[in-house]
Copies of this chain bind each other. A is one copy, B any other.
Amino acid sequence: MALDEFGLIRQYFDWPPQHPATVRGVGDDAALLTQESSQQLVITTDTLLYQRHFDDHISPHDLGWKSLAVSLSDLAAMAATPTAYTLALSLPALDTAWLSGFSQGLREATMCYAVDLVGGDTTRGPLAITITAMGCVVPGQALLRSGAQVGDAVWVSGTLGDAALALALGPSAPPELRSRLDRPEPRVEAASTLRDRLHAGLDVSDGLSSDLQHMLAASGVGACVEWDQLPRSESFRQAAASDEVKQHCLLHGGDDYELLVSAPSGHDLQRACPGTRWTRIGRIESTPGLRLDWGQGRVEPLLPAAWNHFA
C-alpha cells in the first residue's frame, strides 16, 4: 500500500515531545504550546530550496540537520532559547530512503538542541524545506541588529569562510570544511551567555560584508574590520585554493552561521564565554559604511558581494 501524507507524517515526523512547553504537537489542526508569561516569543522562518540553497552533494541526513540548524542560528542571534518548530516539506516523490535519512538528521538536531517538531505540512512538489522556529527571551533581552554604538568592538565567533570554501572546492573539499557547510552548529548558548555585554548582533548567513552592513544600517553607524584579524580555521589555511578565492570566502562567503556582535570596548568576550572561540575583528565608527583595513595603512571600502536571490 502506498504511504499517504498522514502515514508519511506518522512514520517519519511524529516524535514524542521533549520540551515541557509542548502541550500538543503533530496531529491536530494546529499545535498547542504553553507560554511563559515572563518571556517574549521569538519567531523566524527559513526556506532551503533544492538547486538554490543545496544540491546533491549534501546527504539527506545532513540536510535534515542543516534545515533546523539554520533557523536555530537566527534564534541564537537574538539571544533566544529555542523551543519548537514547524516543518513545511515539499517532495517530488515519496522517496523512502531520502525521507529516512532526512528524518534522522532532523531528529538528531531536534534532540541535540532540545526542541520539538510540533506541526507542519507535506506536499508533492519541487524539493523545498521551510522551517519556522520559535524560542523565548526575557523581555528587553533580545539581541537586535540596531544597538551598535560608536566605539564598540566588533567580534565574531568561530571561523569565517569555511562553508564558502567547501562550496568553492566542491568534491575535493576536505571533510572538516565540508562539514562546516553541511552540518552547521548554531551558537545557541553563546549570545544568551554574553547578552549583558553586547550591544547588537546577528548571525553570519549571507557573508561578513553583507551581514555586518545590516547591523551598521540598522544602527546608523559605520565600521572598520582588520584583514589580519579575520579568523581562519587550520583547514581553511591549508586548503588548496588561490588567495583570491580564500579572500572572497572570508569577506563575502555565506553559510557560516557564526555570531557577529558589537560590544563595548572594555569587554573580553573570549574570557566571558570560553567555550566558544571569539575574535575581535574591528570597531564601530561614526563614519557610515564598512571599511577593510588591509594593514600598513591601506584602508578601503568593503562592499557587500553576497548572494542576492533577485539581483
Give the B-binding residues of A (Cβ under 8 A).
Answer: 2-5, 8, 23-24, 27-47, 49, 51-53, 74-75, 77-78, 80, 84, 86-88, 90-91, 94, 118-126, 128, 130, 132, 134-137, 139, 142, 144-146, 202-203, 218, 308-311
Contact of A128 among B2, B90, B132 (CB under 8 A): B90
Known: A35-B37, A88-B130, A126-B125. A4 touches B311 (CB 8 A): yes
Asked whether B144 lies within 8 Å of A53 as measured between CB atoms, the reply is no
Name which of A8, A39, A80, A128 has the most chain B CB atoms within 10 A of its CB: A128
Instruction: Tell me, rounded to whole Å, the shortest Cβ–Cβ distance linking A138 to chain B.
Output: 11
**Distance A18 CA – B5 CA, assembled complex (angstroms):** 36
Instruction: Tell me, rounded to whole Å, the shortest Cβ–Cβ distance linking A146 to chain B.
Output: 8
Asked whether B86 lies within 8 Å of A45 as measured between CB atoms, the reply is yes
Asked whether A130 lies within 8 Å of B47 as measured between CB atoms, the reply is yes
Instruction: Tell me, rounded to whole Å, the shortest Cβ–Cβ distance linking A20 to chain B.
Output: 13
Asked whether A309 lies within 8 Å of B5 as measured between CB atoms, the reply is yes
As for how many copies of this chain the complex holds, the number is 2
Q: Which residues of B contact A202 (CB under 8 A)?
A: 28-29
Known: A37-B37, A45-B87, A86-B132. A123 touches B32 (CB 8 A): no
Known: A130-B47, A130-B130, A311-B4. A40 touches B32 (CB 8 A): yes
Given contacts A37-B37, A46-B88, A121-B130, 9 further A-B contacts (CB under 8 A): A29-B78, A30-B44, A30-B74, A33-B41, A35-B41, A43-B119, A43-B134, A45-B86, A47-B123
**Distance A36 CA – B38 CA, assembled complex (angstroms):** 9
Known: A124-B310, A126-B125. A31 touches B44 (CB 8 A): yes
Known: A47-B90, A52-B123. A35 touches B28 (CB 8 A): no
Contact of A34 among B44, B49, B88, B139 (CB under 8 A): B139
**Distance A310 CA – B5 CA, assembled complex (angstroms):** 6
Contact of A41 among B28, B32, B142, B311 (CB under 8 A): B32
Which residue of chain B has its CB nearest to the CB of A43? B31
Instruction: Tell me, rounded to whole Å, the shortest Cβ–Cβ distance linking A1 to chain B.
Output: 9
Q: Which residues of B contact A3 (CB under 8 A)?
A: 310
Instruction: Tell me, rounded to whole Å, the shortest Cβ–Cβ distance linking A122 to chain B.
Output: 7
Asked whether A29 lies within 8 Å of B119 as measured between CB atoms, the reply is no
Q: Which residues of B contact A8 (CB under 8 A)?
A: 310
Asked whether B47 lies within 8 Å of A311 as measured between CB atoms, the reply is no
Which residue of chain B has its CB nearest to the CB of A203? B29
Known: A123-B47, A310-B3, A310-B124. A31 touches B42 (CB 8 A): yes
